[in-house]
Structure formats: C-alpha cells, structure tokens
C-alpha cells in the first residue's frame, strides 16, 4: 500500500501548496500546571503527503488528541513547528482552518440546531451563500443516509448518526485534510464498519485523512501508513508491512503459569538459548517469548515450565501484527 | 441526485472521478455495497468530493453566518426568552406600582425617599428595571451559553474551527449577547409604562433620542462584554455562586430602586457603588428617560459605559482565547 512516486505526482496538489499535506518538526506540547508539568507530546516528526490515509495509533493518553489539537490550531504547541496544507499552524491558523475538516472525539454538534441546520450553518461559516449551503446540506444528508433525521434536533441522534453528521459537517467545505480523532470510539461493530466504508470511499477519491485510533484493527483496515505513538513520541512509522518487518515480524508467545516465576527462569531452563527464541521476558507469572521462527516454541515453553513443577494457566500465540509490533516496541501489553 | 454545483476543482478530472482521484482501477476494487437501509451509498459519498461547491469565506461572511445562527436559535427559543424577560419586570411593577399604592403602604413614598417630590415610584423603576434587564440578559445571553459550550463536550470547538481568528468569535459572542440585552431592555419599557395604579404612571421625557440610543447600546455592550469575561474565567461548577455574588448585589446596589443622588445620606455607600456598572446604566437611562429625577452627569455615564465596554471586551476576548486554544 505504499504510495509510489507516480501516484504522488498524480496526487500533487494545486500550485501554492506544499507537497506534504501535513508536516511537523519536533512538535511538542507541555501542559503547565501547579501540580507539575505534563509532557503530552514530546517531539513528533510527521511527513504526510496529500492523498494519504495516515493513522496515529496508540493507547489512550499517548498524545494523539493533543497532536491533532495542535494540527487543527486548537492547541498551541510549546515547541517545534507544524504545517497543514502548506500553512504554519501557529502563524496562519485561519488559513489552516479554511483547509481542514475536523471530526473531534467529543460530540460537538450544535445541539440547538437541527441536522440540516448544523450542515447549513457550517457551510455558511465557510462562505457559501445560504442557497448553496442549503443544497450542500441536502447533498450531505442524502450521502450520509440521514434523510429521515433531517429535521431532528442534533441531540436526538443515535451515536452512529451523530458521528456520521460530524463527518458530514467536516466535509461541507471540501477540506484538503480531514482529521478524525477516534471516530469510532464507543460505536457498535456494525456502525463502525459502516463508517470505515465511508472513510474508504473518501480516501479512494483522494481525500487526505489523518486518523487517530486506539483500535489496532481500525488502523490495519484503513491506513496507508501508521505511526505508533506512546507517551508523546512516535515509536515507529511506516506501512503495516514495514512496521511488521522493522519490528522483526515476530510472533509473540505468552504462557502464564500458576504462581510467580523466578526472574532467571529463562536462563535457568535454557529457554533463552533456544535457537528459535529471539528474546524471552519474565513478568510476574508469565513468560513472553519473541520469535521469528515460532514453530514448536509454545510447546517448548510449556514443557520447560512443567519440568519446573509449574502448572500452565493460560497460553497464547500472537502472529505478527500491530499488536506484536507494539509489544516489541514497548515491551508491554497494548492497553486499549 | 438533483444537486449540482459548479466546481472548478471537481470538474478537473475528465474521467469523472474528480480531483486527486485515484481513478477507476480502485485499489480495493469496488467500494463495498452498503447493506443496511440507513447506510450511506458509496457513489453519493464520492460525489461529495467530486461535486462540491467552492467555499470562499471572508471574516465578514463568517461573522454574518454566526449571527444568523444566533437569530435562528433565538427565534426557536423566543417564547422562553420572552417569558424570562417579561416576568421579573412585570411582577416588580405590579407589586411596587400597583399593589403598594393600592394598599396605601408607605412604600409608595419611594419617590419621597428619593427626594424627588411627587415623582411616582415607577418613574424611578423604569430606568432601574431596564438596567437590571441589561445585566440579566447579558448574563443569560452570553455567560450561560459559554459555560455550556466550554463544559462537557466542549462544543465551542465547533465554532472555533470556523475560518476566522478566535478574537472574532469572541466579538461575535459579545454582539449576540448585546442584541439580546437590548431587546430585553426594550421589553421592559411598555410593561412599566402600562402596569401601574391610577396616578402612578412614570413620567417619561425623551429629549435626546440619539443619546438615549447611545446609552442603550453602550449598556448592552458593557453587560455582554462582562458576560463574556465571566463566562470564560468562572469555573462552570461555581456558576450558582456567580449569580449570588455578582448578579444579586449588582442589582440590589445598582441604583435600580433608588437614584444614585439619593444615596448622599450614606456617603460611603454612594462612593462604593461606583464600582458597579449597573449604577451607570440606571443613571444613564434616568438622564435620558426621566430627567426629572436627579441623575449623574451624562459624561460620567458614557465614560463608564464605553470605557467599561472597551476594558471588559478586551479582557474577555483575551480570556476567551486562552480558554479556546489550550
């Protein structure tokens, strides 16, 4: 799914705009408070070409929303620089806002307006005359399957409907970059898949999208490229295949025993020396083995443990995936 | 779909897939057909990008659209807004200008207490109640919506993403609040004029309409600016306290029920209340509406109201910006 040079050329934006839809250099945000400073984002570098579907993947609290906040001008960076659609987010926030559509994590629909009015007024905020705005609103309502809810107040929508309206509203002015902050958080599986389909169609039309998510499968299903973030830093970045390759395309074998393991379990039993074992970690009652050649490893770990008089409680084998990438990068379980 | 737009960007692609289109040989094949009836159709979604109107925002257009949104909401809530504006002054004049004179209570001597000779109490009340309406509407029209928008879902982010600088958004909030305050104060006028016992009508003499309009506008903007400031600096959880420590004292000590000159016998209070913006609204309206009652000089009133607007608006827009942009 890599973007080839030919595609990149084809996707080139109108003159006056940079190659990159989003570019950041050492972007940083520290929240100061009386209880001490919180480093939400600690220097993030991104280079996202136009037309790409890019994902920021990380657990809650990784700094994804703060990053989106800075890129959409709602959070002031405390260090580094960022450009969106060729405009500096600090020096030219209005120029940036003209060219972006944002779906925030929270439901920011105007609850005092109807579905149609939400779209009409947003269109007018972006300079469309009232009649054009009304037609654009109807077009969006039809496309997003909200015809039945057209005159409902925004606070009467279901979670899925509200999310669709939020996305529709972000598209009224044909933004160069669409930002989606956790767009499917809290939605049921069916609604989530429907939203994915919408996003895929938008992407196929060349829409540049930056999405944050803490769902691994969402990043895998949608994104051309993914940056794995945690504690305000990018741990790894690339296509799904690149990420798996760079993390060694490892399989992670985890075995839990009944009772805590000695810290030198791997050495004492000779597990570390096993040819198929790249790395073995002991954490409480569990052994985690990273392996590029996992054939027979699970059985080996179990028999070694049993030989030590330990009973197996639970065993799992994770094939190379974003989850094993995350485990390899951070050495800890992915907490969704 | 009947909707058509002339889209310079959208019509660029000859093959109909539009700008930036990755064209027909889509990498994932055809987009999945939507199963549920409510699910959006792929073609219609794609058309949102290929067939879109070209936005051309200017600060003025965006400001205008935001005001149009305010009027739409105001129109929708017209009845509740109207009731809120009407009830307080209506009950006030009913009790003070109708019930008290009828039951012969000493309260009807309010005018005498104000050393204004035979002036009816409603003459004193008219400017006072209008001033109190300014403050109430300024708070309800600006502070309360802001507190809602900043709390919970932070719906303020929606408006903050409109293509204007944040300070324009702040000024828009002030303008919207000021218009509500202006309308609220106008509603008081006929109520005080009409509701009273026989012989208790207020004596109103507008000699300078321009000055009257100026004081009305300046009163509206000063309360709306103050409303913006309060709405952005106050902790939403303590809003009840704001009403207790701001709205109530400001009204009771705002020369609503007595003219400022009458306070001369309590000199320390007469000086202390000068920090209260309400005093200048009441006194300013007295100067232009009911000049028979002793009032503050107009220059002092204008200085306070216009100066207060500038100070509170600048300060409020600043705190507003700091709340919006984290």
Same domain membership, residue A34 and residue A20: yes
Same domain membership, residue A171 and residue A314: no
**Closest Cα in chain A, distance from residue B256 (Å):** 34
B129: which 2 tokens? 């109640």
pLDDT at residue B170 greater than cutoff 90: yes
Same domain membership, residue A209 and residue A76: yes
pLDDT at residue B183 greater than cutoff 50: yes
3-state SS assignment for residue B84: helix
Mean of pLDDT values over A207-215: 91
pLDDT at residue A8 greater than cutoff 60: no
Per-residue pLDDT, B10: 40
Residue A87, H or E segment: strand A87-88
User: Is residue A141 in a domain?
Assistant: no
User: Is residue A151 in a domain?
Assistant: no
Say whether residue A136 is in contact with chain B using an 8 A CB cutoff. yes
Per-residue pLDDT, B32: 42
Mean of pLDDT values over A300-314: 83
Q: What's the farthest any 2 CA atoms get from each other in chain A?
A: 78
Q: Using the 8-state DSSP alphabet, how is residue B263 labeled?
A: G
Q: What's the farthest any 2 CA atoms get from each other in chain B?
A: 91
Domain CATH code at residue A296: 3.30.70.2470
Q: Using the 8-state DSSP alphabet, how is residue B99 labeled?
A: I
Q: What is the side-by-side order of every strand in the sheet holding A279-283?
A: A279-283, A286-291, A251-257, A312-318
Q: Using the 8-state DSSP alphabet, how is residue A153 labeled?
A: B
pLDDT at residue B243 greater than cutoff 90: no
Task: Give me the number of domains chain A comprises.
Answer: 2
Do A111 and B62 make contact, defined as CB atoms within 8 angstroms? no
Per-residue pLDDT, B188: 86
User: Is residue A125 in a domain?
Assistant: no
Residues in chain A with CB shorter than 8 Å from the CB of B45 are 143-144, 198, 201-202
Residue A146, H or E segment: none
Same domain membership, residue A94 and residue A234: yes
Domain CATH code at residue A84: 3.40.50.300
Question: Are B18 and B49 a contacting pair, CB within 8 Å?
Answer: yes
B106: which 2 tokens? 């000493």
Do A206 and B324 make contact, defined as CB atoms within 8 angstroms? no
**Residue among B7, B29, B65 with most chain A CBs within 10 A, to mutate:** B65
Interface subset of A 223-262, CB within 8 angstroms of B: none
pLDDT at residue B29 greater than cutoff 50: no
User: Is residue A127 in a domain?
Assistant: no
pLDDT at residue B166 greater than cutoff 90: yes
Q: Which of B49, B162, B325 comes nearest A76 by C-beta?
A: B325
pLDDT band at B38 (very low <50, low <70, confident <90, very high): low
Q: State how far the Cα of A251 lies from the Cα of A324, in Å rounded to an integer.
A: 7
Same domain membership, residue A166 and residue A307: no
Tens-place pLDDT, residues B149-164: 888 778 888 889 999 9
pLDDT at residue B232 greater than cutoff 60: yes
Q: What angle do CA B280, B282, B286 make, to 5 degrees?
A: 110
**Closest Cα in chain A, distance from residue B220 (Å):** 24
Per-residue pLDDT, A47: 92
Q: State how far the Cα of A169 lies from the Cα of A297, in Å rounded to an integer.
A: 51
Per-residue pLDDT, A37: 87
* A to B CB pairs, distance under 8 Å: 198
Q: State how far the Cα of A182 lies from the Cα of A213, in Å rounded to an integer.
A: 5
Tens-place pLDDT, residues A166-183: 999 999 999 999 999 998
Q: Using the 8-state DSSP alphabet, how is residue B70 labeled?
A: H
Q: What is the side-by-side order of every strand in the sheet holding A79-84?
A: A38-49, A20-31, A79-84, A87-88
Per-residue pLDDT, A334: 62
Please provide residue B47's backbone torsions phi and psi, each rounded to the nearest 5 degrees: -65, -20
Q: What is the mean pLDDT of chain B?
A: 79
Same domain membership, residue A200 and residue A90: yes
Question: Half-sphere exposure of B188 toward its Cβ, with a 13 Å CA cutoff?
Answer: 27
Q: State how far the Cα of B188 lies from the Cα of B129, in Å rounded to an integer.
A: 7
Interface subset of B 134-163, CB within 8 angstroms of A: 152-163
pLDDT band at A290 (very low <50, low <70, confident <90, very high): confident
* Domain stops at, among A228, A245, A262: A245
Same domain membership, residue A171 and residue A55: yes
Interface subset of B 10-29, CB within 8 angstroms of A: 17-22, 26-28
**Residue among A111, A119, A125, A168 with most chain B CBs within 10 A, to mutate:** A125
Domain range list for chain B: 1-54, 59-324
Interface subset of A 160-179, CB within 8 angstroms of B: 164, 171-174
Same domain membership, residue A177 and residue A299: no
Say whether residue A159 is in contact with chain B using an 8 A CB cutoff. no
User: Is residue A133 in a domain?
Assistant: no
Q: State how far the Cα of A171 lies from the Cα of A140, in Å rounded to an integer.
A: 8
What is the span of the domain harbouring residue A69? 5-109+157-245
Listing DSSP states for A229-290 in one string gives: EETTEEEEEE-HHHHHHHTT--EEEEEEESSPPPTTHHHHHT-TT-TT-SEEEEETTEEEEE
* Cα dihedral A7→A10→A14→A15 (10° resolution): 90
Question: Are A165 and A138 a contacting pair, CB within 8 Å?
Answer: no
Strands A177-181, A100-103: pairing kind: parallel
Do B157 and A74 make contact, defined as CB atoms within 8 angstroms? yes
Same domain membership, residue A286 and residue A219: no
Please provide residue A292's backbone torsions phi and psi, each rounded to the nearest 5 degrees: -90, -10
Q: Which of B9, B41, B53 comes nearest A132 by C-beta?
A: B53
Predicted ipTM?
Answer: 0.78
Do A93 and B18 make contact, defined as CB atoms within 8 angstroms? no
Q: Which of A13, A108, A128 comes nearest B53 by C-beta?
A: A128
**Closest Cα in chain B, distance from residue A97 (Å):** 5
Q: What is the mean pLDDT of chain A?
A: 85
pLDDT at residue A281 greater than cutoff 70: yes
Strands A312-318, A286-291: pairing kind: unpaired
Closest chain B residue to the Cα of A205, Cα to Cα: B21
Same domain membership, residue A297 and residue A165: no
**Residue among B30, B39, B46, B68 with most chain A CBs within 10 A, to mutate:** B39
Same domain membership, residue A197 and residue A52: yes
A295: which 2 tokens? 């054939």
Per-residue pLDDT, A6: 44
Same domain membership, residue A312 and residue A256: yes
Q: State how far the Cα of A176 lies from the Cα of B94, in Å rounded to an integer.
A: 60
Interface subset of B 164-183, CB within 8 angstroms of A: 164-165
pLDDT at residue B278 greater than cutoff 70: yes
Residues in chain A with CB shorter than 8 Å from the CB of B77 are 112
């Amino acid at each position: 799914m890599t973007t080839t040079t030919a595609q990149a050329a084809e996707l080139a934006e109108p003159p006056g705009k940079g190659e990159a839809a989003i570019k950041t250099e050492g972007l940083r945000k520290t929240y100061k408070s009386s209880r001490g400073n919180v480093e939400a984002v600690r220097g993030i570098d991104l280079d996202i070409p136009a037309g790409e579907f890019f994902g920021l993947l990380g657990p809650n609290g990784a700094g994804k929303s703060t990053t989106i906040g800075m890129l959409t001008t709602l959070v002031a960076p405390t260090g580094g620089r960022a450009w969106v659609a060729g405009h500096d987010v600090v020096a030219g926030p209005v120029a940036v806002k003209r060219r972006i559509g944002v779906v925030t994590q929270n439901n920011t629909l105007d609850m005092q307006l109807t579905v149609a009015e939400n779209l009409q007024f947003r269109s007018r905020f972006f300079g469309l005359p009232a009649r054009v705005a009304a037609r654009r609103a109807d077009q969006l309502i039809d496309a997003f399957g909200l015809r039945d809810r057209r005159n409902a107040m925004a606070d009467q929508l279901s979670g899925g409907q509200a999310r669709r309206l939020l996305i529709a509203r972000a598209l009224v002015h044909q933004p160069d970059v669409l930002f989606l902050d956790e767009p499917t958080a809290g939605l049921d599986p069916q609604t989530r898949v429907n939203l994915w389909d919408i996003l895929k169609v938008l992407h196929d039309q060349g829409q540049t999208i930056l999405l944050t998510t803490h769902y691994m499968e969402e990043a895998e299903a949608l994104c051309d490229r993914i940056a794995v973030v945690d504690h305000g830093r990018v741990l790894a970045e690339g296509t799904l295949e690149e990420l798996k390759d760079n993390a060694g395309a490892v399989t992670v074998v985890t075995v839990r025993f009944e009772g805590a393991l000695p810290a030198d379990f791997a050495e004492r039993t000779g597990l570390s020396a096993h040819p198929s074992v790249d790395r073995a970690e002991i954490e409480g009652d569990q052994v985690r083995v990273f392996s590029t050649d996992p054939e027979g490893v699970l059985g080996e770990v179990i028999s070694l443990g049993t030989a030590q008089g330990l009973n197996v409680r639970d065993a799992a084998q994770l094939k190379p995936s974003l989850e094993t990438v995350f485990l390899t990068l951070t050495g800890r379980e992915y907490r969704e | 779909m009947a909707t058509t737009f002339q889209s310079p960007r959208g019509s660029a692609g000859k093959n109909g897939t539009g700008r930036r289109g990755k064209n027909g040989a889509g990498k994932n094949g055809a987009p999945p057909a939507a199963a549920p009836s409510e699910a959006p159709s792929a073609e219609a979604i794609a058309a949102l990008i290929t067939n879109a109107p070209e936005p051309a925002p200017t600060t003025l257009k965006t400001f205008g659209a935001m005001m149009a949104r305010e009027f739409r909401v105001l129109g929708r809530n017209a009845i509740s807004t109207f009731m809120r504006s009407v009830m307080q002054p209506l009950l006030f004049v009913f009790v003070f200008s109708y019930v008290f004179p009828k039951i012969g209570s000493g309260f009807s001597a309010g005018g005498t207490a104000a050393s204004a000779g035979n002036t009816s109490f409603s003459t004193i009340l008219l400017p006072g109640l209008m001033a109190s309406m300014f403050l109430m509407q300024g708070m309800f029209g600006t502070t309360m919506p802001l507190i809602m928008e900043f709390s919970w879902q932070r719906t303020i982010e929606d408006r903050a993403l409109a293509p204007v600088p944040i300070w324009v958004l702040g000024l828009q909030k002030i303008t919207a609040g000021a218009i509500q305050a202006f309308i609220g104060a106008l509603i008081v006028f006929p109520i005080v004029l009409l509701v009273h016992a026989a012989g208790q009508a207020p004596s109103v003499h507008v000699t300078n309409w321009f000055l009257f309009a100026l004081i009305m506008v300046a009163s509206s903007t000063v309360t709306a600016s103050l409303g913006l400031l309060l709405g952005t600096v106050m902790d939403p959880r303590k809003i009840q306290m704001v009403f207790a420590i701001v709205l109530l004292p400001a009204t009771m000590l705002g020369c609503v029920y007595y003219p400022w000159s009458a306070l001369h016998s309590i000199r320390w209070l007469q000086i202390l209340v000068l920090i209260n913006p309400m005093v200048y609204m009441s006194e300013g309206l007295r100067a232009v509406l009911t000049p028979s009652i002793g009032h503050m000089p107009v220059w002092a009133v204008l200085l306070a109201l216009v100066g207060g607007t500038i100070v509170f608006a600048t300060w409020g827009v600043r705190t507003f910006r700091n709340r919006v942009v984290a």
